[in-house]
Amino acid sequence: MTKITILHNPRCSKSRETLALLQARENDINVIEYLKNPPSANEISHILSLLGLNARQLMRTKESEYKDLSLDNVNLTEAQLIEAMVNTPKLIERPIVLVNGKAAIGRPPESVLAIIE
């Protein structure tokens, strides 16, 4: 099996639950604490294409930074929204699991099972 990667925030209960679910099935997991090691714009673009989402759909719109940075402005481009996630990784929905050219958001945690089984 290809190595599983999880973009993880240890302070998030859903992220912890998803990681535990993965660890119960696989022990070769690449855990990336994305708040400490944010993905690049290219990596976020790739994740978006795997998920079939646009940038705003991957953003945590209830975070104060979303409003503070005026990211609710409908005139912002995909590139601008992606750049905001690079600069403020707290805005990225979590957790994201990547394996075998597929991606899933662990909300609920069980949703990642479809790409690892």
Q: What single string gives the DSSP state of each residue in 42-99?
A: HHHHHHHHHHT--GGGGB-TTSHHHHHTTTT-TT--HHHHHHHHHH-GGGB-S-EEEE
Distinct helix (H) and strand (E) counts, the chain = 5, 4
Distance CA 4, CA 97 (A): 7
> Which one is catalytic: 5, 12, 32, 33?
12
**Does the active-site annotation cover 12?**
yes
Catalogue the active-site residues: 12
